[in-house]
Amino acid sequence: MKDVEMRLFSMQDLKYRDFQSKLMPDCDKERVIGVRTPVLRKYAREFSKDPRAKEFLLELPHKYYEENNLHAYLIGILAKDFDQTLQLTEEFLPYIDNWATCDTFSPKGLKKDPGRLYEKTIQWMASRHVYTVRYGIVTQLQYFLDDWFRPEMLEIIASLHREEYYINMAAAWYYSVALVKQYETTLPLFTEKRLDKWLHNKSLQKAIESYRIDKEKKDYLRSLKVK
């Protein structure tokens, strides 16, 4: 949608584009306009009231990183129930091509049926598409490490054995938060060394860096690193 593209360029911040591009080596810099997140979110709320917003959601694939993020925000605003949110999510997932879009995509409508969402995360993690797998892991991290926690997921993610960096980093992030929120249940994976060496050590590193784990636990986690 040409006028949306023009509007995005009118909000361009070149210094921010350069900064953001360095954080996303998997995304071609020429596809990054450079719109700060709060500005883009504000525009998404404004554009969601335009009848053409629904047309924009049909125009996949998009060219620019910010168009993809706008798409993600619009799903969160426009989708009103679980089924509609899930449909739009699954249409969009194959076109996510970087970790930042993946991690910012969190439509609230998915929370309306945690049972079905849980099963969907398992399906997503079985995908061949890197960022669909990452999305499954990040969704588990976001929604299923508190009241909806199921210990079986600790083993499911451990069994992925994928080579892709952005999948493994998401898994390390997941386990580090699991050590914060479900410490006693998660700890045996590390004491019994049930994770791949890289994932084991990276998860511990990220947990030790967390301000939500006390010093005593951090000291113990350091002792569990595999040399």
Each residue of 66-81: pLDDT tens digit? Answer: 999 999 999 999 998 9
Task: Please state, in angstroms and as integers, the Cα–Cα distance from residue 169 to each residue in 23, 36, 63, 97, 211, following that order.
Answer: 14, 24, 26, 15, 19
* Residue 102 pLDDT > 90: yes
* Residue 219 pLDDT > 90: yes
Looking at residue 15, what is its pLDDT? 96
Mean pLDDT calculated for residue range 148-160: 97
Map tokens 């499911």 to a residue. Answer: 156
Looking at per-residue confidence, does 205 or 1 come out higher? 205
At residue 26 the predicted structure's pLDDT band, cuts being 50, 70 and 90, is confident
Phi, psi of 105 (to 5 degrees): -85, 100
Looking at per-residue confidence, does 105 or 27 come out higher? 105
* pLDDT over 70 percentage in the chain: 100
Residue pair 177/212 in contact (Cβ under 8 Å)? The answer is no
Residue pair 169/202 in contact (Cβ under 8 Å)? The answer is yes
Please measure the distance between the N-terminal and C-terminal CA atoms of the chain and give it in whole angstroms. Answer: 53
Mean pLDDT calculated for residue range 198-205: 98
Residue pair 102/135 in contact (Cβ under 8 Å)? The answer is yes
Tell me the C-alpha distance between 161 and 158, whole Å. 7
Phi, psi of 124 (to 5 degrees): -60, -40
* Residue 1 pLDDT > 90: no
Residue 112, C-beta contacts closer than 8 angstroms, at least 6 positions apart:
81, 82, 85
Q: Please give the single-letter amino acid code of residue 102.
A: C
Tell me the C-alpha distance between 52 and 157, whole Å. 39
Put simply, whether the predicted model's pTM sits higher than 0.85 gets the answer yes
Looking at residue 212, what is its pLDDT? 94
At residue 39 the predicted structure's pLDDT band, cuts being 50, 70 and 90, is very high
Average pLDDT, the chain: 96
Mean pLDDT calculated for residue range 101-129: 97
Least confident of 1-5, 42-46, 71-75, 146-150: 1-5
